[in-house]
Structures are given as structure tokens and as C-alpha cells.
């Protein structure tokens, strides 16, 4: 069971802030998040942003990245430019003004933002670096899942191996650095499952039995947003931020080294 913590502010100026999101915290408010603290709730208090009426939030149309098309998007999303899954920890970018929000979203859509993730997966991934290109869409068999299906939207993920591990009891693992070049829902998790190396602890894609076994020594899915770079929307300066592996995942690593 994950204990929810508060986001850590990594950087902020008058235009945006970068936070380190803890695992277990949902990014955007939804029907299913009632009664729980989301990043969006936290941001609204920190930036003193007004909350739109529920019906106004729900009336917006979304673009292919899941973001609202209108300028009201800034207030509907409380400036949150992109997303991380609930159990994924790491760097998240938040705009402080509608103009900055629009600029940063454009950088994402034009693929000018660079993101890197750390993931521990089952098996010995070979070759030790490569590109996964496979179209992703919502599963016709389970609406809560995504997968590689004909007619899906193009998706591309680069990866490289940082280290291999072999534990006599737990098995073989690979620690990967991944760079998604598109922004599909669950993209990294789906792509790794597709090539046969699911993320440790992933209850949706590793399989129920495997995930249950993983969570005896790893408290959640082993996925962390470790790096983020983009162009400052006002100054044009290159901005880069890094986040170390959180303590819960470091402890899991110690267990497979044992």
C-alpha cells in the first residue's frame, strides 16, 4: 500500500514550476478521485487558481494528447501540461499562466520536449538498445487498458540498458532508460509488455500473478520520470531537470542485488 506524500518543488520562476510527483498521487481530478488529494488540487492551492464549475470542466473537447483545445484548458487543467500515471513518480511540468501553458503544450505536440524514464523490467532485454515502434489504442476487451492493435495511433519509444541483474530467487531483470517520442496513454508500459519484458509490479500489464509476486519485494510499478528538458517559454533558454530514483525503488533494487 502506497503512502501518499506531497509533491516536491524542483524549480519555479514567474512562469512555470517543475515538481517531483510522488508515487500514489493522481495528477488530474476526476469522478474516481473524489475524497483524495490530487496534484491538481495541490496546484490550485499553491498558485491560488480558481476552480471551474464541474460542468464547465467536462464540456471541453480534448486533442490527441488528452489536453483541452480551448484557452480555458489552463484553468481546466490548473496549468498541468502533461501527465504521469498514479503509480509513476517523477518530474511534472506546470504552467503559471495561460500563455505559458499554450507555449509548453505546443512544445510537447511538436516533440521538442525530451523525457526520460527509468524502468526495471522482467527478463534480460536484448539487444541492449533499440527502438519500439508499435501503434497503441484502447483495448476492445478491457476499456481500462491499452495495447498494440491494428488501427491504433503511432507510438515510438527508444530504450537502452543501464544494467542487467540476476537474482537466484527472484529471477532476471533489466534496468532501462526509456525516451518516449510520442505521448500515448500507458505507452512505456504497453510497449515493454509488447516486446515481452513487462515492468516490475505493473498490475495492468505484467499479469496478475506476476505483479502480485513482484509486490512482495517492490511496493509499486517500477517506473520513474527521471529527466525533463524543454525551452523556456519566455527567455528561450534550454531548461533541463533530473530526478533521482526514489527511496522505495532504491530499496527494491537492493533486494534484487542481494
How many C-beta atoms lie closer than 10 Å to residue 226's C-beta?
20
Pairing of strands 89-95, 223-231: parallel
Element (H, E) at 241: strand 238-242
Is 85 tagged catalytic?
yes
- Gap between the Cα atoms of 250 and 246, Å rounded: 6
SS3 257: helix
Q: Which of 14, 63, 85, 142 is catalytic?
A: 85
Closest CA to 66 of 48, 52, 81, 79: 81
Return d(Cα 229, Cα 239) in angstroms, integer: 5
d(CA 249, CA 252): 5
DSSP one-letter string for 126-154: SSSEEEEE--EEE-SS-TT-EEE-TT-B-
* Of residues 122, 155, 144, the one with CA closest to residue 204: 144
Catalytic machinery residues: 85
Amino acid at each position: 500500500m502506497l503512502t501518499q506524500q506531497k509533491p516536491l518543488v524542483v524549480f519555479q520562476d514567474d512562469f512555470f514550476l517543475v515538481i517531483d510527483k510522488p508515487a500514489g498521487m493522481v495528477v488530474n481530478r476526476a469522478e474516481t478521485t473524489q475524497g483524495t488529494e490530487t496534484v491538481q488540487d495541490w496546484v490550485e492551492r499553491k498558485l491560488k487558481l480558481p476552480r471551474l464549475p464541474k460542468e464547465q470542466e467536462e464540456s471541453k473537447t480534448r486533442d490527441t494528447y488528452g489536453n483541452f483545445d480551448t484557452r480555458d484548458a489552463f484553468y481546466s487543467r490548473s496549468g498541468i501540461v502533461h501527465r504521469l500515471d498514479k503509480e509513476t513518480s517523477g518530474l511534472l511540468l506546470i504552467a503559471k499562466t495561460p500563455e505559458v501553458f499554450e507555449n509548453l503544450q505546443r512544445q510537447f505536440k511538436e516533440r521538442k520536449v525530451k523525457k526520460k524514464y527509468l524502468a526495471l523490467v522482467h527478463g534480460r532485454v536484448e539487444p541492449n538498445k533499440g527502438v519500439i515502434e508499435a501503434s497503441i489504442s484502447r483495448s476492445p476487451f478491457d476499456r481500462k487498458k491499452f495495447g498494440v492493435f491494428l488501427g491504433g495511433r503511432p507510438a515510438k519509444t527508444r530504450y537502452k540498458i543501464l544494467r542487467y541483474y540476476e537474482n537466484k530467487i527472484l529471477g532476471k531483470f533489466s534496468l532501462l532508460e526509456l525516451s518516449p517520442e510520442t505521448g500515448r496513454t500507458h505507452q512505456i508500459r504497453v510497449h515493454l509488455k509488447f516486446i515481452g519484458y513487462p515492468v516490475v509490479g505493473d498490475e495492468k500489464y505484467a499479469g496478475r500473478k506476476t505483479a502480485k509476486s513482484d509486490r512482495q519485494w517492490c511496493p509499486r510499478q517500477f517506473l520513474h520520470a527521471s529527466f525533463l528538458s524543454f525551452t523556456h517559454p519566455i527567455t528561450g533558454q534550454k531548461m533541463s531537470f533530473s530526478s533521482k530514483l526514489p527511496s522505495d525503488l532504491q530499496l527494491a533494487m537492493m533486494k534484487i542485488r542481494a
